[in-house]
Amino acid sequence: MTLYAKWTPLSFPSLPRSSHTLSLSHLRLSAFQSHRSPTAILFSGEESPRVPVSNELVLVDLESHKYAAIEYDDYGTGTIANTDTDTESISPPILEHIVVLKIQPDDTTPAPRVGSASVTIGTDTYIYSGRAGPDMKPLDAKLHAFSADTGRWHVVDFAPDSPSPEPRSYHALTASGSTLYLHAGCSSAGGRFNDLWAFETTSTPRRWRKLADAPGPARGGTAIVAAGRADAEWWREGPKLYRIGGFDGKNEIGGVLDIYDIREDRWSSVTHSCGKDGDEGHENNGPQGPSARSVAGLVVVDIKEKQYLIYTFGEADPSSLGHAGAGRFLEDVWAFDIEAGDWGRVEWEGETPAARGWFCAVAWEHKKVVIQGGLGSSNVRLGDWWMLQFVTRPSTAPLPATPMWDSNW
C-alpha cells in the first residue's frame, strides 16, 4: 500500500517553538465573522532549551491560508496586498479575516510549560501537566481547559476521592467521544510511565479511572490517537486507541503498534519489520513499517472512505547533549490502513518540510495533516507551518495537485 501526497507551506507568521501543544477547535476570532473557523490553538513550549515561552494563548485561523499574499501585522489582523483577490468581495477584509490572535494571560491561565499535551473535546481544549521552573520538574496534576465559548481558562474539578495521574511531562493525550485519555510520560523522579487513564468530561462528579497498563517498556515522547467509525465493519467492537513509538531512557522504540480496546480494557499489538530510518532495507522478514522513533506526529485521516493513521517525522537517535541538543531526525511519513492492518509509505514530489522532532501535528477536516514548529537538525526551533494533502497519482503520470477528496479516484 502506497499513498501519495503533496506538502504545502502555509503562509502564517513564524512561531518558533518545540515541546509545545497544538489542538484544533472552532472559534470566531472576530466579532465580524459569520461562522466559527477551524482554529489552531498553540500553548507555551520552548524556544531555548528548558526555558518555557510565554503562556499567552496563540490562535491561528487555518482557513486564512487561502489568502496567499497576506501581509501580517505583528500577531494581528491580516491585510490583503499584491494579489488578484477582489477585495470588494471580502467584507471587510481586515476585520473579517483575523489570521492570528494572541490572548494575554490572566489569573486563570496555566503557567508556562514545556512537554505538556493537549486535546480538544467539543468546545473545550484540555492540557495536563508539563515541566516548568529552573529545575524543570513536572507541574502539578491539574487539568486545565480553555473554552471556545468564553475565551477563558478554567481548572477542571473532579471528585475529591478520585484517583488521579501523577504529574508528568512528554506524555500524550487523545479523546474518544467525551472521554479524555492520558498515557505515559516522564516522572519527576526521572523515570517513565506506561499507564493509561480515562477522564469522562461530562460525568457528575467527574473522576479519573486507571485503565490497563500498556505493553512494552515505559516511555516518554510516545504518540497515541483514538480512531474508529460507526459505519465500518471492523469498528463493530468499538473505538480503539493506537499507540506507537517513544523513548525508554536508552533507545527509541519501534517495530510495534499497540492497540487498546476501550470496551474490553485490553491491549493487543501489531508488529512490523523495523528498518533503519524507515527505508526499504529491513533487518527482519515480515511486513514493513516505520523505523524506531520518538517525539513524532500521529493523526487519523479519512481517505477514500477508509481510515488511516498518519505517522510523521520524529527523532531516530537522541542527542549526546540530552535535551540541550538536537538528535538525528527523520523526514519520512507512513500510513497505517486500520481496516487492512498494514503499513505503507507516503510518497510525494516537490517541496517538503525539514526533518524534525518535538513538533505538533493535527488532522484538519479529517482529510489533511497540519504540522507546526519543532526542533530541527541544526538545534534551532522551527516556526513554520505545513499542510499535507493526499492526492491521486495515475501510474504513468506525475504527481498532481488535485486533492484526493475532490477527485474521482
Per-residue pLDDT reduced to its tens digit, 321-344:
666 677 899 999 999 999 999 999
Kind of pairing between the strands at 153-155 and 342-348: unpaired
Neighbour-count burial for 258-291, b at 16+ CB within 10 Å, e otherwise: bbbebeeeebeebebbbbeebeeebeeeeebbbb
Which residues 6+ apart lie within 8 Å of 30 measured at CB?
77, 95, 96, 97, 98
- Contact between 275 and 281 under an 8 Å Cβ cutoff? The reply is yes
132-146, 170-184, 213-227: which range is least confident on average?
A: 132-146
47 SS3 class: strand
Q: Are 99 and 75 in contact (CB under 8 A)?
A: no
Q: What is the pLDDT of residues 160-205, one digit of tens each?
A: 999 999 999 999 999 999 999 999 999 988 899 999 999 999 999 9
- Cα–chain center distance at 336: 16
Strands ordered across the beta sheet of 153-155: 117-121, 124-128, 143-147, 153-155
pLDDT at 282 over 50: no
Write down the mean pLDDT value for the chain.
84
Q: How many residues does the chain have?
A: 409
Q: Which residue has the higher pLDDT, 394 or 272?
A: 272
**pLDDT class of 79 with cuts at 50, 70, 90:** very low
Nearest of 68, 52, 41, 64 to residue 19 by alpha carbon: 52
Task: Tell me if residue 324 falls in helix, strand or coil.
Answer: helix
What's the CA dihedral at 255, 304, 384, 40 to 10 degrees? -100
pLDDT tier, 228 (very low <50, low <70, confident <90, very high otherwise): confident
Inform me whether the pLDDT recorded for 94 exceeds 90: no
What value, to the nearest 5°, has the Cα angle with vertex 376 and ends 219 and 335? 60
At 1, is the pLDDT very low, low, confident or very high (cuts 50, 70, 90)? confident
Q: Is the pLDDT of residue 20 over 50?
A: yes
In which band, very low, low, confident or very high, does the pLDDT at 111 lie, cut at 50, 70 and 90? very high
What pLDDT band is residue 116 in, cutting at 50, 70 and 90? very high
- Provide the pairing of β-strand 223-227 with 208-210: unpaired
More confident residue, 251 or 407: 251
Angle at CA of residue 186, ends 182 and 192, nearest 5°: 95
Residue-level pLDDT at 65: 67
Whether the bond into 205 is cis, omega within 30 of 0: yes
Residues contacting 8, CB < 8 A, separation 6+: 351, 386, 387, 388, 389
Amino acid letter at 123?
Answer: T
Of residues 387, 389, 394, the one with CA closest to residue 408: 394
Percent of the chain with pLDDT over 70: 79
Q: How far lies 6's CA from each of 267, 329, 348, in Å? A: 34, 20, 6
Band the pLDDT of 82: cuts 50, 70, 90: very low
pLDDT in tens, 29-65: 665 566 788 999 999 999 998 889 999 999 998 987 6
CA 399 vs. chain centroid, Å, equals 26
Residue 103 C-beta-side C-alpha neighbours within 13 Å: 22
Q: Which of 78-87, 261-270, 302-311 has the lowest mean pLDDT?
A: 78-87
Q: Is the distance from CB of 339 to CB of 307 less than 8 angstroms?
A: yes
Biggest CA-to-CA distance, the chain: 64
pTM of the entire predicted model: 0.88
Residue 309: the pLDDT is 98
Assign 16 a pLDDT band (cuts: 50, 70, 90).
very high
Q: In whole angstroms, what is the distance from residue 64 CA to residue 78 CA?
A: 9
Q: Which residues are within 8 A (CB) of 138 and not within 5 positions of it... i.e. 6 or more apart?
A: 129, 130, 131, 166, 167, 168, 169, 186, 187, 188
Query: If you average pLDDT over residues 290-318, what whole number do you get?
Result: 95
Q: Which of 266, 375, 359, 365 is nearest to 319 (CA)?
A: 375
The gap from C-alpha 37 to its chain's centroid, in whole angstroms, comes to: 19
Angle at 140 between CA 135 and CA 145, to 5 degrees: 125
- The residues that bridge with 146 in the sheet, in sequence order, are 125, 153
At 30 the pLDDT is 62
> What is the spatial distance between Cα 225 and Cα 313, in angstroms, rounded to a whole number?
16
From the list 112, 173, 124, the residue with the least C-alpha distance to 153 is: 124
